[in-house]
Amino acid sequence: DQGLDVELVNSRAGVEAENELLAGAVQGVVGFYDHTVDLQSKGKYIQSIVQFSQAPGEVELVSAKHPEIKSPADFKGATLGVTGLGSSTDFLSQYLAVRNGLKPGDYTLLPVGAGNTFIAAVKQDQIQAGMTTEPTIAQLLKTGEASDLVDMRTPEKTKEALGGPYPAASFYVQSAWLEDHKDEAQKLANAFVMTMKFIATHSAEEIADKMPKDYYAGNRDLYVQGLAGGKAMFTPDGRMPADGPPTVLKVLSTFSKSLQGKQIDLSKTYTTAFVDAAK
């Protein structure tokens, strides 16, 4: 509809996509907003131009083999699964541990990806707990191989877990690229805002009908169930929640050495200009 020719490239973890963006291999990334804050602390500037979610949509699952883990305070000595080191699941896992009185050396983070590789890590007891998204969550809960420990699929539950809203999935680009490609950025924003409005006004069944069948991971009913349960995490119009960026900065500052002693200008980590002008 916008006259754009776009190539989609899939990455196992947000940190991999971030690296491709910084290397110039891609021009934009759908990833967690927290990368914009983390990178600014390292002297690199990227901006979210459309905010897809106001909650992470993640769940910290605990393996059924380890009923002794009843809260993040019990992570001591455990191996925790994350999509990748330096990913948002890494950031959030560290925060949950620190918030519950643990130090970085008290637990181990293991990159296991998502989907089948995450499920295999649980089954083989490579990880005792781990953070992932749908449909992996629903698959493990259905088989009883894991249970939910910390649920961050809705804004309300995210506030309980993190102390405030946590804007997560976003479309971000390098700030320097944005300066020279405002027309392309606007067309991308137009398409994404249309998508967010469609999600907000349609049922999980209707949304599933528009998705590629391989997204169902072999079980459409389970996919629809997970989508229905997590639909509340999406923004209705692509706008950044006003109190979201300070929560993200607070969470990352709890454990990130690169943020300690740094002044972060949150106004340079996102813009609503393209969403405001979306047609």
Whether 25-55+167-276 shares its CATH topology with 58-152 is answered yes
Sequential DSSP letters for 119-162? HHHHHTTS-SEEEE-TTHHHHHHHHTSEEEEEEESSHHHHHHHH
Q: What is the dotted CATH code of the domain comprising 58-152? A: 3.40.190.10
Look at residue 31 and give its three-state secondary structure. strand
Alpha carbon 109 to its chain centroid, in Å, reads 17
Run means of pLDDT, 10 residues per run, the chain, 279 residues: 80 76 89 93 95 95 97 97 90 94 94 94 98 90 96 93 93 95 95 96 95 87 88 94 93 90 94 94
Q: What is the dotted CATH code of the domain comprising 25-55+167-276? A: 3.40.190.10
Six-digit token string for 112: 């296991």
CA nearest to 161, candidates 221, 72, 63, 255: 72
Where along the chain do its domains lie? 25-55+167-276, 58-152
**Considering just the CA atoms, what is the radius of gyration of the chain in Å?**
18
User: For residue 75, what pLDDT is reported?
Assistant: 97
- The pTM of this model reads 0.85
Q: Which positions ≥6 away from 147 have C-beta within 8 Å?
A: 61, 62, 64, 141
Categorise residue 61: left if φ over 0, alpha if ψ from -120 to 50, beta otherwise: beta
User: For residue 182, what pLDDT is reported?
Assistant: 96
CA nearest to 126, candidates 139, 109, 143: 109
User: For residue 14, what pLDDT is reported?
Assistant: 65
